[in-house]
Structure 1
Amino acid sequence: MSLKKSLLLISIILIIDQLSKVYIKTHFVLGESVDVLSWFKILFIENSGAAWGAKLSDFLPISESIGKLILTVFRLFAVAGIGYWLYDTIQKNSSRTLILAVSLIFAGALGNIIDSVFYGILFNDSTGQVATLFSNEPYGSLFYGKVVDMLYFPMINTTWPEWVPYLGGNSFRFFEPVFNIADTAISTGVGILLVFNKKAFGKKEEMTRPSEED
């Protein structure tokens, strides 16, 4: 997989990811949902923390704002590291599977870091109102944006039988997390590395060179 093809894939994912997020921000109130199918909903939520909404302040004796800043800076370094990994795999003519996977992970990580870095100064608050892009009253500041999530697949929504120890009578929903296109790209890339590990990290592909004319 060439650098041009990798950049094209990354660009397509970023465009779809950001367009979907901007649309949701400018058309939905926070918490609003629309049923697409019985097992698929568009549900607008915002995530100011790490995966599953976790925050550093939940685990460390620091303020929520400091924890958010640390997390955003960490994401920036992570994106830079993944970008270098991608560049290195392409330069070394690594397997197409590996380049594809890293391209997906990089695109997803970059998509979410755009939210974390810039959305706080681009949009106003979505609580109780539809947000405005390039608002004069942004909800945050640089590095304090919230990641927009909207894809929700509650394929199973039921209650645990009473006879089940500890869980009996409690509600059970699968799949619970709400995510976005960027998250999907990251998960797909990681899945490719796990399932096709040998193919991804196998021998390098032979570089084909056009024959030179005398």
Structure 2
Amino acid sequence: MSLRKAYLLIFILLLVDQVSKIYIKTNFILGEEVEVFKWFKILFIENEGMAWGVQIPGIYGKLFLTLFRIAAVGGIGYWLWDSVKKKSSDYLIVAISLILVGAFGNIIDSVFYGVIFDDSQQQLATLFSDQPYGTWFHGKVVDMFYFPFWHGNLPSWLPIWGGKEFTFFNAIFNVADMAISTGVGILIFFNKKAFHHKTA
């Protein structure tokens, strides 16, 4: 795969990621939910930390996370350029492109959303608001896709979780998260093909 095609893939997915997030921010109140199917819902939440809602404690935790993501994108971008230059497999180039899209998509939220949107609590957010909810590098990542395939009480004979209420699949995510997960999945499940070098 050429670098041009990789950039096109990145651009298209990044556009879809940002359009979907901006639509949710400006049309949903925080916590609002729309049921598409029993097993698929659009649920607007905001994530202040890393994946799965993990947060880095302290005043500078969010800033550190955002700067780390920016540095990671630089490294992943170089990895993509180097892989194309070395004529690596399409599996690897697509996987790196997807991971780059995901990281960059969530960086945009973290860097800019705090200063271009107002609060989503009890109101629809306004794009380019005069009263933004945060500051540079302290924006919240928008998540919306929720797939609760099964919800109920687990059998009492199960250790630890027995008899407790449980939802599968409980994560809420966005297009950028899906891109990262898919890219990592390609590297794991197609490892031999991904790291197989083409011969000249």
TM-score (norm 1): 0.91
Pairs aligned (count): 200
Give the % identical residues.
Answer: 62
Distance in 2 of aligned mates of 1:171 and 1:100: 39
Please give the residue correspondences for 1:35-114 in structure 2 after superposition, counting only pairs within 5 Å.
Answer: 35-57=35-57, 63=58, 65-114=59-108
Residue equivalent to 1:212: none
* Contact residue 43 and residue 146 of structure 2 kept, 8 A: yes
Flag structure 2 segments of 5+ consecutive residues without an equivalent: none
Q: 2:104 matched to 1:121?
A: no
Deviations 1:77-98 (A, max 9, x none): 0111101100111111111111
* Contact residue 87 and residue 197 of structure 2 kept, 8 A: no
1:167 corresponds to which letter in structure 2? W
Distance in 2 of aligned mates of 1:11 and 1:24: 20
Residue equivalent to 1:204: 198
Distance in 1 of aligned mates of 2:45 and 2:117: 14
The 1:47/1:205 distance shift into structure 2, 3 A limit, reads farther
* Contact residue 95 and residue 205 of structure 1 kept, 8 A: no
Residue equivalent to 2:176: 182
Deviation at 1:158, TM superposition (A): 1.0
* Contact residue 160 and residue 171 of structure 1 kept, 8 A: yes
Deviation at 1:205, TM superposition (A): 4.3
Distance in 2 of aligned mates of 1:89 and 1:165: 46
* Contact residue 154 and residue 166 of structure 2 kept, 8 A: yes
Flag structure 1 segments of 5+ consecutive residues without an equivalent: 58-62, 207-214
* Contact residue 116 and residue 147 of structure 1 kept, 8 A: yes
Taking only aligned residues, the RMSD between alpha carbons, in angstroms, comes to: 0.9
